[in-house]
C-alpha cells in the first residue's frame, strides 16, 4: 500500500502496549546490534583508520574575528555555509562510546565546549533485551563500562543535558528493544526529550525482509506517535540494492505512512551505494528530517550495496576504514547542507565508525564543518 501524506491533529501524551507478533520479528541487529567481530578485525579497523587520519590533509581556513557586533561565532560560521540560524549540529554518540564509558560527564562537557548542541544516543539500553546487550560489539570487545544512557536514569540524564545546555532530539533504538519494552522506551524518550526514535538498520537477503520491515515500522510508528514521538529509519548502503527491479529504500518509502515514519539520511552510506545525496534529498525532502554527516576518505572504485558488508569483515573492512574526519574527505558537505536547509532539514549529526581518537575526531570535525567556505 502507498500512503499519502495527511495532516492529523495534535495527539495526547499517552500510549498503549505494543503487540508485535511474528512475522513482524525481523533481523535488524547488523554490525551495531549483534554481529560479532573478532578482536583482530576490530584492531585492524582502528589501526587502518588511524593510518588514514595521519595522511596529508587539506588545511582549513579559520574564520576571522567578529565583524558585526553581537553576532556569535557559530552564527557567523553558519552564514559562511549559507545556513540559516534555525539548525543544529549534533553528534552520534556511537562515535564516542569508549570516551563516554571512561568519563561520561567529562565527555559530555567536552562536546558542549566544542560547540555541539545536540546529542544522538545509541543503544543498547537498560530496556533492551539481554541478547542485544550480550551481542553488542562495543560492549564485547572495547570493554565498555557503560552503554546507551551509561547507567543514568532518564531523569538524571535530562538534568545533565540541561545543565550543559545540551539537547537530545534523537536516539537510535533497535526494533528488538521496541518490541521488548515499548512502554519504557517511550517513557525514556519523553523524559529525556527525544523527538525522534530511529531504527539504525535492517538487513536481509531479499526484498521480503524490507516489506515486513515496513509493516513493522508502521506499527511502531503508531505507538510512538501516541506518545508524541516520531519514529524513523536510518539507512546504510544495502537499502539501495536492486532485487529484480525493486530496491529496499523504495519499498520502505512507499509502504510506510509518512505521518508515522520519517528518514535519517546517512551521507557516507548513500555515497557508498553510488547514490547522489543531493538528488535524493531533493526527491524525498518531505520524508527526511535528519542527516548523518559522515565523510569518505577517498572515492571508491565501484559502489557497493552488498548487505554482507555488515556481516563479513573480509568484505566490509575496506569500506568501514574508508572514513575520515569531517571535511578531510571527498563528500561535498557545503552543497549538501545548502540543499538540505532549502528543503527544510534542520538536524545535522556528525558520526564516524570506530574513530581512533574519538575526542579529537569530534573536535576537529565540528571545527571543519563550521569552517567550510
Q: What is the dihedral of CA 170, 322, 283, 172, to 10 degrees?
A: -20
Per the structure block, which three cell numbers stand in for 98? 569508549
Quick one: pLDDT band at residue 83, thresholds 50, 70, 90?
A: low
Contacts of 55 (CB under 8 A, 6+ apart): none
The rounded distance, in Å, linking the Cα atoms of 371 and 327 is: 9
Report if residue 6 sits inside a domain.
no
Please give the residue range of the domain that contains residue 352. 39-52+74-371
251: left (phi over 0), alpha (psi -120 to 50) or beta: alpha
Classified as helix, coil or strand, 256 is: coil
Reply yes or no on whether the pLDDT at 43 is more than 80.
Answer: no
pTM for this one? 0.82
Question: pLDDT digit string (tens) for 178-223?
Answer: 999 999 999 999 999 999 999 999 999 999 999 999 999 999 999 9
Report if residue 3 sits inside a domain.
no
The rounded distance, in Å, linking the Cα atoms of 167 and 352 is: 20
User: What's residue 48's pLDDT?
Assistant: 53
Rg of the chain over Cα atoms, rounded to whole angstroms, equals: 20
Average pLDDT over residues 264-284: 98
Q: Are strands 323-324 and 295-296 parallel, antiparallel or unpaired?
A: antiparallel
The residue count of the chain comes to 373
Q: How many structural domains compose the chain?
A: 1
Report if residue 153 sits inside a domain.
yes
Give the residue ranges of DSSP H helices in the chain.
Answer: 39-53, 73-81, 97-102, 104-114, 130-135, 137-142, 154-164, 175-180, 182-192, 207-226, 248-255, 267-272, 277-283, 313-320, 333-342, 358-371
Report if residue 340 sits inside a domain.
yes
Q: What is the CATH number of the domain that holds 93?
A: 3.20.20.150
Classified as helix, coil or strand, 266 is: strand
The mean predicted confidence, pLDDT, of the chain is 83
Amino acid at each position: 500500500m502507498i500512503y499519502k501524506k495527511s495532516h492529523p491533529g495534535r495527539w495526547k501524551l499517552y500510549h498503549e502496549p505494543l503487540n508485535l507478533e511474528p512475522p513482524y520479528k525481523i533481523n535488524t541487529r547488523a554490525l551495531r546490534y549483534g554481529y560479532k567481530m573478532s578482536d583482530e578485525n576490530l584492531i585492524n579497523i582502528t589501526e587502518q583508520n588511524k593510518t588514514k587520519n595521519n595522511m596529508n590533509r587539506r588545511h582549513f581556513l579559520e574564520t576571522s574575528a567578529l565583524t558585526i557586533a553581537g553576532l556569535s561565532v557559530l552564527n557567523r560560521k553558519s552564514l559562511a555555509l549559507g545556513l540559516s540560524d534555525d539548525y543544529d549540529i549534533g553528534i552520534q554518540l556511537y562515535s564516542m562510546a569508549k570516551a563516554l564509558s571512561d568519563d561520561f560527564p567529562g565527555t559530555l562537557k567536552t562536546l558542549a565546549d566544542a560547540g555541539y548542541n545536540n546529542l544522538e544516543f545509541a543503544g543498547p539500553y537498560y530496556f533492551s533485551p539481554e541478547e542485544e546487550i550480550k551481542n553488542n560489539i562495543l560492549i564485547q570487545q572495547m570493554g565498555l563500562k557503560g552503554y546507551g544512557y551509561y547507567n543514568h536514569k532518564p531523569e538524571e540524564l535530562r538534568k545533565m543535558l540541561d545543565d550543559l545546555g545540551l539537547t537530545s532530539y534523537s536516539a537510535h533504538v533497535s526494533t528488538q528493544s521496541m518490541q521488548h519494552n515499548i512502554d519504557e522506551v517511550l517513557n525514556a524518550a519523553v523524559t529525556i526529550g527525544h523527538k525522534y526514535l530511529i531504527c539504525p538498520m535492517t538487513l536481509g537477503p531479499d526484498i521480503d525482509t524490507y516489506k515486513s520491515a515496513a509493516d513493522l515500522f508502521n506499527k511502531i510508528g503508531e505507538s510512538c506517535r501516541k506518545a508524541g514521538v516520531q519514529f524513523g529509519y536510518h539507512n546504510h548502503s544495502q537499502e539501495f540494492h536492486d532485487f529484480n527491479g525493486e530496491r529496499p529504500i523504495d519499498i520502505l518509502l512507499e509502504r510506510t505512512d509518512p505521518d508515522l515514519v520519517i528518514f535519517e539520511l546517512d551521507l557516507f552510506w548513500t555515497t557508498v551505494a553510488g547514490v547522489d545525496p543531493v538528488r535524493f534529498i531533493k526527491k524525498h525532502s518531505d520524508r527526511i528530517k535528519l542527516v548523518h554527516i559522515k565523510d569518505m576518505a577517498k572515492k571508491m572504485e565501484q559502489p557497493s550495496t552488498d548487505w554482507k558488508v555488515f556481516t563479513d569483515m573480509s568484505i566490509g573492512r575496506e569500506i568501514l576504514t574508508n572514513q575520515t574526519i569531517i571535511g578531510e574527505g571527498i563528500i561535498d558537505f557545503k552543497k549538501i547542507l545548502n540543499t538540505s536547509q532549502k528543503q527544510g532539514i534542520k538536524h545535522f549529526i556528525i558520526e564516524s565508525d570506530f574513530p581512533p581518537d574519538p575526542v579529537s575526531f569530534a573536535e576537529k570535525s565540528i571545527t571543519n564543518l563550521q569552517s567550510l567556505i
